[in-house]
Amino acid sequence: MSPRILTRESWGANESMGIKINSENSVEERAENHNHSNSSSVSEKEKKCLEMRRIAPEDFEVRMINTQDKLGNDLIWPRRYSKKVKVIVVHHTGEKETPKSNSLSGIEKVRAIYKGHTQTNGWGDIGYHYLVDKDGKIYEGRAGGDNVVGAHVYCANVGTISVAMIGNFQRRYPSEKQLSSLRWLLIELTNKYRIRPSGKTVFRGERISTIVTHRDLAATQCAGRNVQRLMNSIRTTVAQRDYEKSILPKDKASSRISRRGTGKKTYEREIPRRVRDKVQNYLKKYGKPKR
């Protein structure tokens, strides 16, 4: 069964959040003005970015800018469109995982991230193009369709498409379902944008993989240590168009255990293979226990 992408409408994106209600300069204009401010206040990061723009101006080329949505409303953040998409960037959402945050459904998390990016950060929309939750559900992120520029990595928003795995993968691994949907989506996207999944490309003057993590492009932990470890097998199975092969290393198949009695407390733990095999044998024999 192939997953499908839940549209903004179906997860309940409040589109009015992205619309300008007064004549305040857009975030985009402010960012541009900032870029042109006097060079003595430019940070190392900005210097590096300016240098990349100088070396590879074609990787920053935008073919179209829409300042209004379909209904003619002025957008807070005008929609820009990359001339060419070369790279897909994998992120994690990286929030601290607490019993409370673990109790939220995927859709609730997506709505919260949308609100955070759109209103709290003032970006006018969600930064990521797609999000994948722990059950493997895929959500449409940024509005605007193919080639629309997101807001997910400094100095590399043009020319890239982003996929965010909901969760924090510094310590634990994503579920196989989540990884499998990520792979399905990466296969779709590499087809759509004619990207060679296991290949390299020259982007901003550097030779890099066509599917990378945020950390490969910037100083950040995103998409988490454990996703970083899986990137090679992700790229390989995407290249092979293999929808079935397990991505997690065998001993890393993790599961959410709920502690009986406390009712609330859940935590992530790796199950020893011996125990997992026993459980799987049981399930094979007797099926899932009824609740």
CA 74, CA 79: separation in Å to the nearest integer? 11
Q: How far is the CB of 153 from Zn ion (least distance, A)?
A: 7
Site string for Zn ion, 137-176 (x = CB under 5 A): ----------------------------------------
From the list 26-34, 59-67, 74-82, 86-94, the region that binds Zn ion by CB under 5 A is 86-94
Query: What element of type H or E holds 33?
Result: helix 27-35
Residue 214 binds Zn ion (CB under 5 A): yes
- 183 vs 214 by CB, closer to Zn ion: 214
Residue from 8, 79, 91, 137 binding Zn ion (CB under 5 A): 91
CA 62, CA 80: separation in Å to the nearest integer? 6
257-260 contacts at long range (C-beta below 8 A, 24 or more positions apart): none
3-class SS of residue 131: strand
From the list 27-35, 91-99, 112-120, 272-280, the region that binds Zn ion by CB under 5 A is 91-99
Q: Which of 103, 89, 90, 96 is nearest to 134 (CA)?
A: 103
Omega cis (within 30) before 56? no
Q: How far is the CB of 186 from Zn ion (least distance, A)?
A: 16
Residue 126 binds Zn ion (CB under 5 A): no
Q: How far is the CB of 225 from Zn ion (least distance, A)?
A: 13
- 117 vs 214 by CB, closer to Zn ion: 214
**DSSP labels, 155-199:** T--TTEEEEEESS-TTTSPPPHHHHHHHHHHHHHHHHHTT--TT-
From the list 8-16, 102-110, 217-225, 280-288, the region that binds Zn ion by CB under 5 A is 217-225
Q: How far is the CB of 167 from Zn ion (least distance, A)?
A: 12
From the list 52-60, 124-132, 221-229, 230-238, the region that binds Zn ion by CB under 5 A is 221-229
164, exposed or middle or buried, with CB in 10 Å at 0-12, 13-18, 19+? Answer: buried
From the list 75-83, 118-126, 184-192, 219-227, the region that binds Zn ion by CB under 5 A is 219-227
- Span 55-84, contacts to Zn ion by CB under 5 A: none
Which pairing describes strands 206-209 and 200-203: parallel, antiparallel, or unpaired?
antiparallel
Q: Helix 176-192 to helix 225-239 angle, to the nearest 10 degrees?
A: 50
Residue from 52, 110, 222, 238 binding Zn ion (CB under 5 A): 222
Binding stretches for Zn ion (CB under 5 A) = 91, 214, 222
